[in-house]
Structure 1
């Protein structure tokens, strides 16, 4: 009979139990299979109990206020144990939180005992609320002597308007140039600038945000002409 927790694990790992990934899950768009907590308890936990070991775990807050799963694998007779803390992520969705805790309980037990299922277990990403990013396929070089595929053409469409802009409204570059030219011509103050713009467009303008691209171009052209006239010698 094993005398310590380490001797128990040595005996267990010498003849490890077999887990079958018979449950279906999904990680993002990828379907997976896994051995659930019920099977892990029936196969692994029952073997540990027969060897005099109990497994306990509790979702709790650690000394730093972080949400963790505190776990312990204890050999009852010798009082030797293996303990640790597995980080958990708080979630507003109770079902998602429960899935994360269930996964952590199963993952910790398998990790601390060294037991694995049929192949690598990756279903935990879905339980923890993570999504598997799809890997981008890199283009493969064409075999020697064969033409390479044509490079994708860059889009020639007009980029979408920036936040605060409309499709036909004054653009930010126009806005910046307009204010600069108004300042250069001595119309930098708000009332003077709006008065100048209203005179050019022959309608009342209360804010430059109401200008269209065409309005802004007309005013900018007018300002540039006026500046050229000011710079000409008398």
Structure 2
């Protein structure tokens, strides 16, 4: 998150000071539970973007301030959300919040929502999230201990050429989704999807991804791009097809229905 400028802002600073003196204590209206690959779960609460805007924007307006945040290309050419707090005098402060452009539109939209909420809360001074510093510290300490415990075994059993990167990739723990971002499909869901395609006799990767894209209504280049909800819906469709007297015909019917629904939107 690019730091905003801090010079020549007398009017904006005075107005923001008045806003901060009147900031309400916001009750967090959303709680999310995250399941990690280790099997552990944790939950956190936060103030949604809708509630944050409803509470803070009118207060900014009363003191001659406004806030904007929009996605676009950053100074480095990569995707970001550019944000700006402006005063009616013409003074303003702003910056860039980098976000990933990977995944489907829902995942990108979730990141944009998170960035808008985070930037407004940070620039105004609202505590919109639980303080998870201790949890992150615990996670980091646990990860360091696990790596330290595994290191002697890896040194004692040299991996065959080409295997090290694979083992590292398998053991990597994906970060939890940002607030407002759809949870990704679990390893178990992706494994079940692969198993059902095998039962249906569809083992070609291109054919699988084309089938998945049609059924969920958007193009995906890997099952890693699926959200948990999409994977659940996909598993239901595949399981239903497998239960039919002619699974391949049932799947073709589901594909035709999905393609027709997509054209009608």
Using structure 2 for the length normalisation, give the TM-score: 0.45
Greater gyration radius? 1
In terms of fraction of residues, the more helix-rich structure is 2
